[in-house]
């Protein structure tokens, strides 16, 4: 640790008034993307090693059914700091590092006909109008400090504007800048030695803070960068786990296993520090994760991890995306080494920590979460239903449409928002006690329970004022099908299907459609063949795009065309040559207003036919 860092800490905090020793310290450790099956706390991994999380659990309570309010990071982080659900704040996506500032969620009234729902614009910053947990502690005289990932906005939306007196490394991005292992790319924050690991550095900074503030209460927010992308780790740890890999286990990335160990090592560093400083008995420690494990990126030739037996992962509302590890240490109150299967969620931490520290909310302050102190004292707490909300659809495996979930006891209602008949919601029901993998929808077998939980969901969406996409009044199922196959009408035409034929109605000359190919066509001498019938004569012009070639969309200079006579069914062929794989076509129907019906569209390459459209 460099002296200049310590001097900053001393300057900020040693001059502050000291509160009564009865005020407990708070250390909140938040992992990034650590799944429920990524630790040794739940008996679901044979690869990862988390002995320090076991040490932590031996001092406190492990929650078996802890949930995040969202399957992605920024929304969950906002819910921890505000006690408010992302459905209420509108901060529902991890886009707080993007340039656009939007503090009010909105949904459009209409969309193109190939979209079932309208577009949705979420909030992109944590609005300073919400009183954060840090601001509440700061008002009570606590020293407040943030280390690690933030991802809720750059200045003026950084930790320094949300109640934290110190923020290291003062970074707004979704992961560590550049890499975990130095050299890093943080602005104004450099490594202390070659190959320094960012998690080790954050742990060192946190310990230095505790050393400088051991005689006064503090709120230390240590939000780890681990185990989010980019996927890199200490070389010696990667080699360690390479020797432990079972190729038949879904958890088989040595790099990710090494990242988990660095996360765990720095949990141990926190425990060692509170013990050495003699403040363990007056320090509450919370360990939690912001969402489930990553099941869609690739590292070491596999996915980073697996959430089995849970279904899905980060980025969707299956339990693999929202059920996470959770441990709370509260010396003198929580029975060491205890477990609890009461439902808790990320909005519960704010009101719980207030009660645990003997503080009150600000006047008129309300929470979507509740205090789970009864559970922390060892009772089976029925805190009522909990909810998740994710009005987006990602491209991750096993993805869902925009959705929300309600949990009550062992029951889960999964609502697909406006995904049912005529734009109605579609409700699915799962008994998690018997079906932890959410494979069997029993809504039809449990109509009364489904209706009752659907009512809870209705009340939640109404109470929070949740905004999400609306049914699109312009929606056309055929347009959606065409869009799914890659076809899209553009200038001056409509595109439909009639009796298996692709029907192009030209409202003006030079109308065209585009076709984005699911699989690129290899380069060479090619032909585009069409079988069509037109209302009158004209010609067809072809443009195409090639992978890695600019202009990136269509190569206007390589335009080829062919005439058609109209009136009768006929075939026409347009030859062209591509130097790189062809990724899309633009077909211009250069004819006066009228109608063209295409029954067959194919690309030919070296005698091979690649069907692009075929009437049944």
**Stretch 305-315: mean pLDDT:** 96
Instruction: With beta carbons less than 8 A apart as the criterion, state whether 308 and 250 touch.
Output: yes
pLDDT at 320 over 90: yes
pLDDT at 2 over 70: no
* Torsion sign, CA atoms 35, 37, 41, 42: positive
> What pLDDT sits at residue 190?
95
Query: Which alpha helices (H) appear in 47-107, and where do they start and end?
Result: 51-59, 73-82, 86-89
In 3D space, the residue among 524, 522, 540 whose CA is nearest the CA of residue 610 turns out to be: 522
Whole-angstrom distance, CA of residue 6 vs CA of residue 376 = 35
Q: With cut-offs at 50, 70 and 90, classify the pLDDT of residue 569.
A: confident
Residue 210: other Cβ atoms inside 10 A: 21
> What pLDDT sits at residue 396?
87
> What pLDDT sits at residue 550?
62
CA distances from 213 to 15, 90, 118, 216 (A): 10, 36, 51, 6
Q: With cut-offs at 50, 70 and 90, classify the pLDDT of residue 479.
A: confident
Per-chain mean pLDDT for the chain = 91
pLDDT at 474 over 50: yes
- Residue written as tokens 């020797």? 243
Cα pseudo-dihedral 79, 82, 85, 86, rounded to 10: -70
- Residue 280 CA, chain-centre distance (Å), reads 34
Note the pLDDT tens digit of each residue in 520-543. 999 999 999 988 888 878 888 888
> What pLDDT sits at residue 534?
85
**Stretch 68-72: mean pLDDT:** 98
- Residue 444 CA, chain-centre distance (Å), reads 30
pLDDT at 156 over 50: yes
Residues of the chain by 3-state class (helix, strand, coil), percent to 5:
25, 25, 50
pLDDT at 476 over 90: no
For strands 582-590 and 511-521, give the pairing: antiparallel
> What pLDDT sits at residue 554?
54
> What pLDDT sits at residue 492?
73
**Stretch 227-236: mean pLDDT:** 96
In 3D space, the residue among 244, 237, 243, 239 whose CA is nearest the CA of residue 260 turns out to be: 237
Note the pLDDT tens digit of each residue in 329-353. 999 999 999 999 999 999 999 999 9
Tokens found for residue 98: 């993007």
Strand partners, 29: 222, 287
Instruction: With beta carbons less than 8 A apart as the criterion, state whether 305 and 86 touch.
Output: no
In 3D space, the residue among 64, 71, 69 whose CA is nearest the CA of residue 44 turns out to be: 64
Please give the DSSP secondary-structure letter assigned to residue 422: G
41-45, 256-260, 527-531, range with greatest mean pLDDT? 256-260
Q: With cut-offs at 50, 70 and 90, classify the pLDDT of residue 55.
A: very high
> What pLDDT sits at residue 591?
67
Whole-angstrom distance, CA of residue 454 vs CA of residue 460 = 10
Burial 389-408 (b: 16+ CB within 10 A, else e): bbbbbbebeebbbbbbbbbb
Note the pLDDT tens digit of each residue in 349-371. 999 999 999 999 999 899 999 99
Tokens found for residue 28: 């909140």
Note the pLDDT tens digit of each residue in 157-178. 999 999 999 999 999 999 999 9
Query: How many residues are there in the chain?
Result: 616
pLDDT at 20 over 80: no
> What pLDDT sits at residue 616?
65
Q: With cut-offs at 50, 70 and 90, classify the pLDDT of residue 3.
A: very low
Tokens found for residue 27: 């250390």
Instruction: With beta carbons less than 8 A apart as the criterion, state whether 388 and 66 touch.
Output: no
CA distances from 207 to 28, 148, 171, 203, 212 (A): 14, 13, 20, 6, 9
* DSSP secondary structure letters along 357-405: TT--PPTT---SS---HHHHTT-------EEEEE-----STT--SSEEE
> What pLDDT sits at residue 253?
97
Q: With cut-offs at 50, 70 and 90, classify the pLDDT of residue 15.
A: very low
pLDDT at 556 over 70: no
pLDDT at 240 over 90: yes
Q: 477 or 245, which is more confident?
A: 245
**Phi and psi, residue 208, nearest 5°:** -60, -40
Q: 480 or 259, which is more confident?
A: 259
Residue 455: other Cβ atoms inside 10 A: 12
In the chain, what percentage of residues exceed pLDDT 70? Answer: 94
Q: What is the CA radius of gyration of the chain?
A: 28
Note the pLDDT tens digit of each residue in 75-115. 999 999 999 999 999 999 999 999 999 999 999 999 888 78
- Helix axis angle for 198-212 and 3-13, nearest 10°, is 40
Note the pLDDT tens digit of each residue in 423-440. 899 999 999 999 999 999
**Stretch 209-229: mean pLDDT:** 95
Tokens found for residue 196: 């320094």
pLDDT at 129 over 70: yes
Instruction: With beta carbons less than 8 A apart as the criterion, state whether 321 and 43 touch.
Output: no
């Amino acid at each position: 640790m460099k002296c200049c860092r310590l001097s900053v800490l001393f300057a900020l905090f040693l001059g502050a008034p000291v509160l009564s020793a009865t005020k407990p310290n708070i250390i909140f450790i938040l992992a990034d993307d650590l799944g429920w099956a990524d630790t040794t706390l739940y008996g679901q991994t044979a690869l990862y090693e988390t002995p320090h999380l076991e040490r932590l659990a031996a001092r406190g309570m492990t929650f078996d059914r802890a949930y995040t309010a969202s399957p992605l990071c920024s929304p969950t982080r906002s819910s921890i700091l505000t006690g408010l659900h992302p459905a209420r704040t509108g901060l529902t996506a991890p886009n707080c590092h993007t340039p656009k500032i939007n503090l009010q969620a909105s949904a459009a009234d209409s969309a193109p006909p190939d979209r079932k729902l309208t577009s949705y614009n979420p909030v992109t910053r944590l609005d300073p109008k919400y009183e954060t947990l840090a601001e509440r502690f700061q008002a009570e005289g606590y020293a407040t400090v943030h280390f690690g990932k933030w991802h809720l906005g750059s200045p003026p939306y950084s930790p320094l504007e949300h109640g934290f007196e110190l923020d290291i490394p003062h970074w707004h991005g979704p992961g560590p800048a550049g890499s975990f292992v130095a050299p890093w790319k943080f602005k104004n924050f450099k490594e202390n030695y070659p190959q320094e690991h960012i998690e080790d550095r954050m742990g060192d900074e946190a310990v230095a803070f505790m050393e400088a503030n051991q005689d006064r209460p503090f709120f230390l927010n240590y939000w780890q960068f681990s185990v989010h992308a980019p996927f890199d780790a200490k070389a010696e740890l990667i080699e360690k786990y390479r020797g432990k890999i079972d190729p038949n286990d879904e958890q088989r990335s040595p790099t990710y296993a090494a990242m988990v160990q660095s996360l765990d090592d720095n949990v141990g560093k926190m425990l060692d520090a509170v013990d050495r400083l003699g403040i363990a008995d007056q320090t509450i420690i919370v360990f939690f994760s912001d969402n489930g494990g990553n099941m869609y990126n690739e590292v070491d030739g596999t996915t980073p991890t697996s959430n089995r037996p849970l279904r899905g992962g980060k980025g969707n509302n299956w339990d693999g995306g929202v059920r996470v590890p959770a441990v709370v240490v509260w010396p003198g109150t929580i029975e060491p080494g205890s477990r609890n299967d009461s439902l808790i969620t990320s909005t519960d931490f704010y009101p719980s920590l207030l009660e645990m520290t003997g503080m009150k909310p600000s006047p008129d302050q309300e929470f979507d979460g509740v205090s789970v102190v009864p559970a922390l004292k060892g009772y089976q707490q029925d805190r009522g239903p909990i909810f998740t909300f994710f009005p987006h659809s990602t491209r991750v495996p096993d993805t869902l449409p925009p959705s929300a979930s309600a949990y009550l006891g062992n029951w889960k209602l999964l609502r697909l928002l406006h995904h049912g008949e005529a734009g109605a919601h579609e409700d699915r029901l799962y008994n998690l006690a018997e079906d932890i993998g959410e494979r069997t929808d029993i809504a039809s077998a449990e109509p009364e329970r489904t209706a009752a939980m659907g009512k809870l969901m209705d009340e939640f969406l109404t109470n929070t004022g949740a905004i999400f996409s609306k049914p699109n009044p312009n929606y056309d199922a055929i347009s959606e099908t065409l869009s799914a196959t890659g076809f899209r009408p553009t200038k001056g035409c409509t595109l439909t299907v009639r009796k298996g034929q692709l029907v192009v109605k030209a409202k003006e000359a030079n109308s065209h459609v585009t076709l984005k190919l699911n699989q690129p066509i290899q380069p060479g001498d090619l032909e585009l063949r069409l079988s069509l019938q037109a209302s009158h004569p004209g010609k067809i012009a072809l443009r195409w795009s090639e992978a890695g070639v600019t202009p990136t969309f269509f190569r206007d200079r390589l335009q080829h065309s062919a005439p058609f006579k109209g009136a009768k069914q006929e075939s026409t062929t347009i030859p062209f040559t591509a130097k790189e794989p062809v990724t899309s076509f633009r077909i211009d129907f250069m004819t006066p207003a009228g109608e063209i019906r295409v029954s067959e569209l194919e690309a030919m390459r070296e005698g091979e036919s690649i069907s692009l459209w075929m009437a049944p």
